[in-house]
Amino acid sequence: MMAAVGEVMGERGKVRRMVSSSSPDVEPEGEDGGIWRRGQDHFRHFTLLLEDELEEETSMIQERWSSWSHHRLQASGLALLGLKGRTNGTLYGEDILVFEHPDRKHLGQHRFTHGDIVVISRSKPLGEKTVEGIVLERGPTRLRIVVAQRPKDLRKGTWRLDRGANRVAHDRMQEALEMFHSVEGDRGTILRDVLLGQVHNPEENASMPPKISGRFNRSEAVQVELNPSQMDAMKSAMSRRLTIIQGPPGTGKTHTAVATLAQLAREGRGPILATAESNVAVDNLLEGLLGLGVRAVRIGRPVKVRETLRMATLDAQLEEHPKQDEIAIVRDEMDEVHRALPKLKGREKGLAHRDIQHNKKELRRLEREMIASVLDSAEVICSTNIGSGHRILDGRRFPIVLMDEATQAIEPSALIPISKGCRQLVLVGDHRQLPPTVISKKAERGGLGRSLFERLIDVGIQTNLLDVQYRMHPVLREYPSARFYDDRLKDGCSASERPSPAGILWPDWDHPFAFIPISGVEDEEQEGGSRSNPIEAARIYDLVQGLLLPGDVHPSEIGIITPYSGQVRALSDIFDSNKGREEGGQFAGLEINSVDGYQGREKDVIIFSAVRSNPDGVVGFLSDQRRLNVAITRAKRGLIVVGDPQTLRYDPTWRSWLDWAEERGLFAWHLVNG
């Protein structure tokens, strides 16, 4: 039996439940238990935090560019040097460029992924004119990048690529703060008082029905299979002005969000704005909506959208719009006038310039009409939180906003869609998993790392917990349920549906979990400060080979995760040798990523490398309970953890988890030596 609340952590085999995900020694300035007494304090506080965050990000990038060696830049995966460039077609009017080594060798381990902002330069991004682009596709030997402006002399010489910063995001968040606090009623949001906690009874206020005008069709329900907790969450979202849906790992929070959006659309309650912090999460919402026949339009540059969904982007629908014929005629007229200009003089030339200006105005009018017609016909508009601040949506009001991944959005980011006339708000997420990413330590201490989702729970807004998980083998659900979710999670899949993978001698064949205790060697990188553990990396290489030998799992069904980028690189180097992870290689499809990069993901088998091994018991950010929760809840059929138990036991959360594993006989001592 799991321990009750309040039992001592150190007692072997017991699990103390997680009380709070917030740092215990941080109390955001100007705030009392999540309640803001004055709106101006909230505005000033977050304005300063955003400034700190932008300053930290900018200075970090500038310091990296000015003082880091080429070796450190490449070792950190933040820059690629000595690349050749060439064109590779277009994407909705923007150029696609390919960058690769002259001999087309492997690019090595790097952090450039789909949708990232890239700064393109010759050798010194601080000392020359640069071009910004967005990663379209990442391959083992090349990057495809979309740019609005092609660099001069692309094929001459070599190029350097650097990870860039997103200043646009900061500007839109600041604008949202100003809108949230300065505009009344539909032009801002009538939910401001309850969101700030400035009402007598926040939960009672949140439970009030939304005041949305219109005639709704209530005769038809969306045909989506939902379990009782998912159905309750959807009913709450339909009837309340503010709903919080907590979705633990594998409980189908996106499925529930999609069903809710589809039902709202079916009842004609639009326009509806569906957002999330990441493009991947927005794409998941869009995919689900399209599958249910909902008319959904995706806002944002097509390069950041999953290829199979680009037909639903605004750009793609504009290309197919009937008014494109009218635009083509106007452009032909303009081209004709431009060709005639050199031969014209005096009054005729003046009239020609007048005609050009007239045609430009006509083009803008037609484009506005096309955009309006596409957006007006949509039942749901999908975008990232930052993307919802695009000028295309200026002047549009969205009485209903549903935000997925709400626990990964800093509060100013969440305010961007909310400040567009929101009257009914649904927040979907899980504050027991990873929080928003904040660069500035000062901003994090000030509370920027706490999401609006979590603050509203602290204010007293009740959550709708999705309590049936469909991902994990029941034994893998046991500890996170007890530790993080008050032992409320139930299994929607049986042990027979998640058979133990062959290729490893599990300590208990009916319980596909193994902790392999290894006293490894913790190395700190000379440049960058990340850590690796070569002994753990070598052991994991052997484990993967063993798992693949019976043919029970494919490399693409295995995920290796670790908290340190240095270990990601060390593991990648091992598996990438002899082109191991390239198409046709022995490990083709095998994924190696950080814990943060795996939130929302799942694999049949997960291998986790803890890395830390030192006599002082220093575990670094492994001590974050939310990071452990994510790490141990990604696996469907089997979980293998490799680490140093003596070091990990210094941390209370890890000690509790190791005691749980040891008591159940899941320490794989027989696998320590191979």
* Mean pLDDT, each 10-residue run in order, the chain (674 residues): 34 52 43 82 95 92 89 87 93 91 86 88 90 90 92 94 87 94 70 92 94 68 91 96 97 97 88 94 96 94 91 92 83 80 80 81 86 93 95 92 97 96 96 93 94 96 97 96 96 96 94 94 78 94 95 96 91 87 90 87 96 93 91 96 96 95 94 76
Q: Whole-prediction pTM value?
A: 0.88
In angstroms, rounded to a whole number, what is the distance separating the alpha carbons of residues 101 and 142?
8
- Look up tokens 């693409």; give the residue: 556
In angstroms, rounded to a whole number, what is the distance separating the alpha carbons of residues 133 and 488?
46
Q: Token digits for 519?
A: 């006293």
Position 142 scores a pLDDT of 92
Q: Token digits for 419?
A: 């400040």
Position 218 scores a pLDDT of 60
In Å, how far are 235, 257, 265, 380, 430 from 245, measured between CA atoms? 11, 9, 19, 20, 8
Which residue type is seen at 400?
I
Q: Token digits for 180?
A: 């949230």
User: Helical H runs in 228-313?
Assistant: 228-239, 253-266, 279-291
In angstroms, rounded to a whole number, what is the distance separating the alpha carbons of residues 123 and 83?
11
- Look up tokens 């929607």; give the residue: 492
Dump the DSSP string for 374-416.
Answer: HHHH-SEEEEETTGGGSGGGTT---SEEEETTGGGSBHHHHHH
Burial class (CB in 10 A: 0-12, 13-18, 19+), 361: exposed
Residue 81 · residue 100 · CB < 8 Å:
no
Helix, strand, or coil (residue 438)? coil
Position 27 scores a pLDDT of 45
| Rama region for 163: left / alpha / beta (φ>0; ψ in -120 to 50; rest) | beta
Q: CB neighbours (10 Å) of residue 463? A: 19
In Å, how far are 311, 371, 394 from 367, measured between CA atoms? 18, 6, 15
